[in-house]
Structure 1
């Protein structure tokens, strides 16, 4: 069984598990299915705006698909969430990617 199917199976029993959704989104990126990845990241962040790790991944995905303004918005939201969570590492990572994109 492939990784995507395993994650989908796990999500059947734990449909609200953000870690599983995040992992599944990363797998979709690996197989070049940005629409499914984006949908999962947006679902995670809509329901759990404190799930800091997904901001970077969503913004980077948007950046790669040519949606610069949306990417900037998600980097900004991520920096706010990381600051609120006290996650300095995530904040610096988001800030660096943001600055690379903006400047």
Structure 2
């Protein structure tokens, strides 16, 4: 596995926040659709190249992520199999989570 020796991916000193309000229908479906630009700017730029390439290949390839509910005082961590994967058609991606909160971090 390659190590980060240049400016890509961007080094992260602490977890970064992605705040997104989740509508009731998306909460029920447990899927958030994210456009490629959003995914690249807020997710892919922090990952190692191999991780990005795996997800971009599609075909069910996915990368696990950790979600934190920022609506709760205790910042409850959601480690129930959340992951990012490419949609079968188009350039968008899906953030799939077992339990989606009103906001995810």
TM over 0.5: no
TM-score under structure 1 normalisation? 0.27
Q: Which has the higher helix share?
A: 1
Say which structure, 1 or 2, has more relative contact order (CA 8 Å, 6+ apart). Answer: 2
Q: Which has the higher strand share?
A: 2
TM-score under structure 2 normalisation? 0.27
